[in-house]
Chain A
Amino acid sequence: MKVATRRAPVDIPIPGLIAKVALLGILNALAIWAIFVLIGESAYWIAVMLAAGCALIDWVFLTPRLFPWRYLIPGLIFMAAMVVYPICYTVAVAFTNYGTGHLLTKEQVIENYLSRATLQEDAPEYPAAMYKSHDGRFAVVLIDPKGEKLLGVDGEVLPLGEVQLPVEYADSDGVPESIGPYQRLGTLELFQHMSAVEALQFHFEDFILKMRNVDRFATYKPQYSYDSNLDALIDTTTGKVYTATQGTFLADDGEALDVGYRAPVGWSNFARLIRSPQVSGPFFRVFVWTFEWAALSVVTTFILGLLLAVLLNDQKMKFKGFYRVLLVIPYAMPAFISALIWRGLLNAEVGLINDMLQFLFNVRVPWLQDPFWAKVALIIVNLWLGFPYMMLVSLGSLQSIPDELYEASRVDGATGWQQFWHVTFPLLLVSVAPLLVSSFAFNFNNFGVIYLVTQGRPAIPGAQTPAGATDILITYTYRLAFESGSGTDYGLASAVTILIFLIIGTLSWFNFRFTGALEEVHENV
């Protein structure tokens, strides 16, 4: 008899080890490259985060004790970056004024204002020649009204005679061909670098010299100065003080500079939703309709689905399988395509639905123009999309109700109707109720159907924010952020999103409580 030799388990076979080291090496190389890119663009915070993330991966993969986490880390990284971080960021943005007019940071806005300058009409203009060095820096030679040459370089202007650089002349026009590292630019080269040259500014006495046209510099005066003690921009002509307050530079008389900066504004986005009449009126309508929409969607689809399930669940019913296949078709179509088809069918002038109504009852309905009929249209479309799901779910649940219960109730003399209300329906509801809540939550955020069928229209008249009669909260959020004619309002959009988070969180909590899912999970994991 042969004795089985038992090989000792090998910890890591050589090819596996090589693969692991190679993969880690590639990952680290990529990360180091990315970190250098980021440092080059002065994005230090992201560089630090990336380095920390990479170190975390290395640590997990090189510490034997942590091996279960090696399997988890790819998924967790994506989830952290694309779900958890966006949720946290939404909360942060909701308390800021981020949006049109407040897109930049405070430093960027101040820099922007400091670079604004007004032309001094009565001050001299200077004929100019442009120069560029190999490393991409620019200089300019200016000729002042007395015929003296000045050199503008590194933001300052000084007489050319005082410059410690070798100056070479090539021809007799009196303008140098090169000054140290700077070579004179021809007209064509000048146009290539126009945007950089236009941005050049040189301080000269109390003024700024800037390009006015291709061969001429003019005298400008800075329009604003920044006082860091007051934290204010001061208009240099009028002396008016604009103090930085909550994202805007504000004067004492209430006048504000047109460009503000991104700043925390506390609860003011939420306050606007409740108090500001132009915002809160439409918002309230959107809010109420969202609940009506979700509730009506669930009720209509459930009633039709349950009705069909009861009919199809009958043992003696013929063609059951065939009927089921036909009835499931709406559920199998991609919803975005169905929604677009329905939008065509509901078209008031040329759509099929109105043609049929005209033929049958001689009426035409303004489906997508009238607020009430637009809502009816949406409910019909969603009924079409959703009833097969409810039918399938109800069928599954009906089949799990034991036959003995029906027999027992028949013995007790129950009619079919009584059987349904006292046996079938209560038992069905127990298993289906959590799905109804989930369906409510799903329709609460059913962006696709609303946006593809009505785009939230018709518009609510007089609304300051873009709100339509059929907008639900999530489409309202989208329009606030991406579609507003008067600019975007990320802050307000995020505030609405937080409300949705709270509502969905509450619903899910009820659902978990109801099903005992959490407790069950606790015991089983």
Chain B
Amino acid sequence: MYKGFLEPAYLWRHIVIWLCIAFAILPVLWIISASFDPSNTIIGQKLIPSNPSLENYRKLFNDPTHPFGRWMLNTLKVSFITSALVVIMTSLAAYSFSRFRFRGRKTGLFSILLIQMFPQMLAMVAIYLLLLWIGEHFPTFGLNTHGGLILVYLGGAMGVNVWLMKGYFDTIPTSLEEAATIDGATRFQCFYKVILPLSRPILVVIFFLQFIGTYSEYVLAKVLLSSNDVLTLAVGLQSFIGDQYAKRWGVFSAAAIIGSAPILTLFALLQNELVSGLTRGAVKE
């Protein structure tokens, strides 16, 4: 019954898969190569650079007009703060929805489900005008500030995360909290001394999912940020490369590799959770 690798029926399958793999990884191989090619141009680039060097990486961090390191730090900072606050905010809300029975609970859950159908960035004009207006009175949270951007991201993060987290909390038996209550714990202590430690896996997943999402967010950052030194990586990199592929290809490739690294790492670590999250979506939105 065993069919060998070279049997025709399987050979063509491997060929098809390898063609797809070529399609999938060629662009990636190409920028890895370009990042080590000191000629820094897309013209006449070869897959194996003739005299590989780290020249592009050095240039990348020494360009005063395009502060790549700054953009990278901005992105990490905004993503980290947003994700941390999102985990706090959504775990509180999910706990309430999971454990308490109160008037307005169902309505609240439904409203969140309905509101999150509309991606936040659709209302970018209104968000821009809102921040313009906030900035007139409280400049820390106005346009062109990380404070304002984080506030906007926090608002958009409630929907899916609350539902995911509530689903997880629902699986933790309430008897643990009852026992804690008998020992004199308050409601809030039940939450952060019993439920949160038990929910570490989902908290980590939501933190990193939010981190990946915020890291790659382009539209709102583009609309809200304008000065060179506050840009996130997505906006900065776009302004850096513009139409300068002939002149900045090598440095851009180095930036693309360093910029992708954190997300690729997270993806590798979280692959199972992400994939099971995808298929869970098939049953429950």
Binding site for B on A (CB under 8 A): 6-13, 16, 34, 37-38, 41, 43, 46, 67-72, 74-76, 78-87, 89-90, 93, 304, 307-308, 311-312, 314, 316-319, 323, 326-338, 340-345, 347, 349-352, 384, 387-389, 392-393, 396-397, 431-432, 434-435, 438, 445, 447-448, 451-452, 474, 477-478, 481-482, 490, 493-494, 497, 500-501, 504-505, 508, 511-512, 515, 517-518, 520-522, 525
B126 touches A494 (CB 8 A): yes
Within 8 Å by CB of B118, from A81, A323, A334, A505, lies A505
Q: How far is the CA of A11 from the CA of B191 in the complex (A)?
A: 15
- Which residues of B from 225 to 257 have beta carbons under 8 Å from A? 234, 237-238, 241, 245-246, 249, 252-253, 256
A12 touches B186 (CB 8 A): yes
Is B48 part of the binding interface, using a Cβ–Cβ cutoff of 8 Å? no
**Chain A nearest CB, measured from B19 CB (Å):** 10
Listed A/B pairs (24) with beta-carbon separation below 8 Å: A16-B186, A68-B96, A71-B96, A72-B92, A79-B158, A82-B156, A316-B2, A317-B13, A326-B21, A326-B25, A327-B20, A331-B267, A334-B215, A334-B234, A341-B30, A349-B246, A392-B275, A451-B219, A452-B238, A481-B124, A494-B125, A504-B118, A511-B285, A525-B97
Which chain A residue has the least Cβ–Cβ distance from B108?
A72
Within 8 Å by CB of A517, from B17, B249, B285, lies B285
- Which residues of B from 140 to 159 have beta carbons under 8 Å from A? 151-152, 154-156, 158
B125 touches A337 (CB 8 A): no
Given A67-B187, A344-B249 in contact, is the A351-B42 Cβ separation under 8 Å? yes
Q: How far is the CA of A295 from the CA of B115 in the complex (A)?
A: 24
Binding site for A on B (CB under 8 A): 2-3, 5, 10, 13-14, 16-17, 20-21, 23-25, 27-28, 30-31, 41-43, 45, 88-90, 92-93, 95-97, 100, 102, 105-106, 108-110, 112-113, 115, 117-130, 136-138, 151-152, 154-156, 158, 162, 181-189, 191, 212, 215-216, 218-219, 222-223, 234, 237-238, 241, 245-246, 249, 252-253, 256, 259-260, 263-264, 267-268, 271, 275, 278-279, 281-285
B260 touches A334 (CB 8 A): yes
Q: Looking at chain B's contact residues, is the secondary structure mostly helix, strand, loop, or mixed?
A: helix
B219 touches A478 (CB 8 A): yes
Given A82-B154, A344-B245, A477-B125 in contact, is the A316-B3 Cβ separation under 8 Å? yes
Q: Inside 8 A of B10's CB, which chain A residues have their CB? A: 316-318
Which chain B residue has the least Cβ–Cβ distance from A38?
B137
B183 touches A7 (CB 8 A): yes
